[in-house]
Amino acid sequence: MWETIIQITPHAVAFTIPLLVVSLGGLYSERSGVVNIGLEGFMIVGMFAGALTVATLAPSMQGAAVWLGLLMAVLVGAVFALLHAFACVTLNANQVISGTAINMVAGALTTYLARNITGSGNIVIPIALPRQNLAYLADIPIIGEMFFTRAYATTLLVLVILAVSTVLLYRTRFGLRLRACGENPHAADAAGINIYRMRYIAVAISGALASLGGAIFLVTIAGEYSGTAGGLGFLALAALIFGQWKPLGLLGATFFFGLASTVANVSRILPYLAHIPDIVLQTFPYVVTLLALVAFSRSSQAPKALGEPYDKGRR
Amino acid sequence: MRLISKTFAVSLGAIGLGLIAGAILMLVTGNNPLAGYFHLFRGGLMNIERFGNSLASSTALILTGLSVAFAFKTGLFNIGASGQMLMGGLLASAVGLYVPWPRPLLLLAMFLAASIGGGAWGALPGWLKVKFNVHEVVSTIMMNWIAFWTVSYVVPRYLRDIFMETESRRIPAEASLRTEWLTDLFQGSYINLGLVLAIAAVAVVAFLLERTVLGYELKAVGHNKHAAQAAGIDIDQRMVTSMAIAGALAGLGGFVFYAGYSVNIQIGILPAQGFDGIAVALLASSSPWGVWGAATFFGILHTGKGFMNAMTAIPPTIADTIIATIIYFAATSILIETVWDKYSKRREQRSPRRGRPSPEQEVK
């Protein structure tokens, strides 16, 4: 049993990391009061931008191209998110419809561009991120062996983003203001906060992180852009809800989901897991999210003004 | 007197902006948009067979569009049409593959199976909403992926093709909605009885919404929940009913797609028709007959894209990009509405002078 856990944890972690950063992206947007079901779309944009950058630069730059690909994904994601912000914040559009449009535009537009570039619509990256033992962290007993040996450097990057986000959202003036926009925008406005600007920033960060998640998924697991993120963005959305819109909740939820998905993938080769039907493990994240919604229906931690366009004139 | 209503103008505006965005995209990628659009529409309309294919492509869209529109009328957002479509298609396929009944009876059984599968997949989020206050947008998204994995589990185990693990067996001819006279009439196109079913569904939904007590009550809940409740309508029960009917409509979309347009059901795909249905409902501003029109338009785009790709260097995904952009512009319809209001206000100010001269002018 223990051996199995040691064996599958690196795979679970590899799957958890992109999921975690995408759901962190969702956290920024939703904490500011803007529903973001476009996470899947931002991931696709990130995968496209990352794949194109890595494929173009890899011959001349080798390993550095991967990191430039991640950087490019962040930039493109932030710019693409302005579409969502413009609709939701400036035009008071229905945020769910805008998010749906984002998902569809992202998939169709990037596939269109990819087909213009490569002809097939797929962009294979010639090099991926290597697995390595992370300095110092790998030496920690047990935890180091489980999480930081044969790990990707992006694991560390995302954990840093998680830590920074937690501090940013809960320990700084910026974070307090951002959360105020999602809880009670009228009070925030009265206190002199520019709701529109805060929400623009939050949605842009959201797009940047979700897009980064897509690119991390690309360079660690997927290996190619093929016009889809396979529903990972929706899984991250489920994690955001299951984690009740809190950074540490997201860490727990995404690891939980990552583990379930990994076990689902390896259950056929592990004898004592073989009797669990795949369907139970694969639908597990969505079912527990529904159950969590039912369980927390009276005490949901969702931002109070989530999904409501800000109307200055209403009191 | 206005020639067209504001909602219709908004829809036309969204389509126009979507087409302009598509044209810009074609230009940026070094293609000729005029040639692109010419071949795109020609591909969907140029002969009877292709027109039949356009109608066949529109069939599932009519039903998913109706599904989304129906829920909209009750103030609910059904983003789960894809999952409902999958469950309807899965149950219909299972019945079609396993039940050896004569054709009319078999098709009826598949019809019922699809409605039940989709209906249940819609009713559950409705129930979760009224009972536990779970937002239907979130729950229907979860239900989509539960359906996705359910199909991935069931098809390879119970319905699988001998050679392909990722597809079900082909349904027998008795279980298919394709029928000789329609295929012949449209010279060998994919068109099938599903279109008849879809148009009948449009008529039934229009009748239900406009001429029945249930329809009136559903719309009342959509307009103002509190007023509806004060008027003695059981709003909880009506919301579940609305989601169940919306789900059943999308389930039928699965029936006509997997047993009419296609010949089997595949795993690993969340059908795009479910999301395109949102676009259809938005363009139609939830009117059932408008849904038919919008779905036909998208059907032409979907059928024409392959022809366009064959005749020009433009990738077929331009059609999906245009549809996606149209949704974005429909979501931001306030832009178009503002322009429309400005224009009509100016016209109203101008009209007295243009029409009958005002008393002052007559004096002069």
Q: Find chain A residues with C-beta within 8 A of B333's C-beta.
A: 93
Q: Choose the weakest-confidence range: A5-9, B37-41, B151-155.
A: A5-9
Q: Which residues pair with A132 in a beta bridge?
A: A151
CA distance A293 to chain B (A): 6
Nearest CB neighbour to B324, from listed A86, A104, A116: A104
Check if the beta carbon of residue A219 is closer than 8 Å to that of residue A68.
no
Residue of A nearest to B312 (CA): A116
What's chain B's length in residues?
364
Check if the beta carbon of residue B151 is closer than 8 Å to that of residue A289.
no
Q: Is residue A301 part of a domain?
A: no
Q: Is residue A11 part of a domain?
A: yes
* Local mean pLDDT, 10-residue blocks, chain A (315 residues): 78 92 96 94 97 92 90 97 94 90 93 88 88 80 78 91 96 95 92 94 97 96 90 92 92 91 76 74 87 82 85 74
Q: Is residue A108 part of a domain?
A: yes
Q: Is residue A95 part of a domain?
A: yes
Q: Find chain A residues with C-beta within 8 A of B324's C-beta.
A: 101, 104-105, 107-109
What is the rounded distance in angstroms from the CA atom of residue B292 to the CA atom of residue B286?
11
Using pLDDT thresholds of 50, 70 and 90, give the confidence band for residue B360: very low
CA distance A186 to chain B (A): 23
CATH value at residue A290:
1.10.3470
Q: Find chain B residues with C-beta within 8 A of A97's C-beta.
A: 278, 282, 327, 330-331
Nearest CB neighbour to A100, from listed B143, B150, B275: B275
* Residue corresponding to tokens 């002052």: B360
Check if the beta carbon of residue B357 is closer than 8 Å to that of residue A138.
no
Please give the biggest Cα pair distance in chain A.
63
Residues whose CB falls within 8 Å of the CB of residue A53, separated by 6 or more in sequence, listed in order:
A65, A68, A69, A72, A73
What is the rounded distance in angstroms from the CA atom of residue B59 to the CA atom of residue B194?
6
Residues whose CB falls within 8 Å of the CB of residue B103, separated by 6 or more in sequence, listed in order:
B174, B175
**Chain A residues interacting with chain B (CB cutoff of 8 angstroms):** 35, 37, 83, 86-87, 91-94, 96-98, 100-105, 107-109, 111-113, 115-116, 121, 231, 234-235, 237-238, 241, 277-279, 282-283, 286-287, 289-290, 293-294, 297
Question: Helices A232-242 and A278-295: crossing angle, nearest 10°?
Answer: 40
Q: Is residue A307 part of a domain?
A: no
Domains of chain B by start residue, with CATH: 1-31+313-351 (no CATH), 48-311 (1.10.3470)
Q: Is residue A70 part of a domain?
A: yes
CA distance B363 to chain A (A): 46
Minimal CA–CA distance to A198: which of A70, A88, A63, A55?
A: A88
**Domain of A30?**
2-130+141-295
What is the rounded distance in angstroms from the CA atom of residue A163 to the CA atom of residue B161?
49
What is the value of ipTM here, to two decimals? 0.88
What is the rounded distance in angstroms from the CA atom of residue A25 to the CA atom of residue A229?
15
Mean pLDDT in residue range B76-105: 94
Is the pLDDT at B113 greater than 60, yes or no?
Answer: yes
Number of H helices, E strands in chain B: 16, 0
Q: Find chain A residues with C-beta within 8 A of B281's C-beta.
A: none
Q: Is residue A146 part of a domain?
A: yes
What is the rounded distance in angstroms from the CA atom of residue B265 to the CA atom of residue B167?
6
Residues whose CB falls within 8 Å of the CB of residue A42, separated by 6 or more in sequence, listed in order:
A22, A25, A77, A80, A81, A102, A106, A206, A207, A210, A211, A214, A233
Nearest CB neighbour to B128, from listed A96, A107, A290: A290
Mean pLDDT in residue range B42-61: 91
Is the pLDDT at B3 greater than 70, yes or no?
Answer: no
Cβ contact (<8 Å) for B270 and A231?
yes
Nearest CB neighbour to B132, from listed A101, A107, A294: A294
Q: Is residue A309 part of a domain?
A: no
Cβ contact (<8 Å) for B29 and A112?
yes
Number of domains present in the structure of chain A: 1
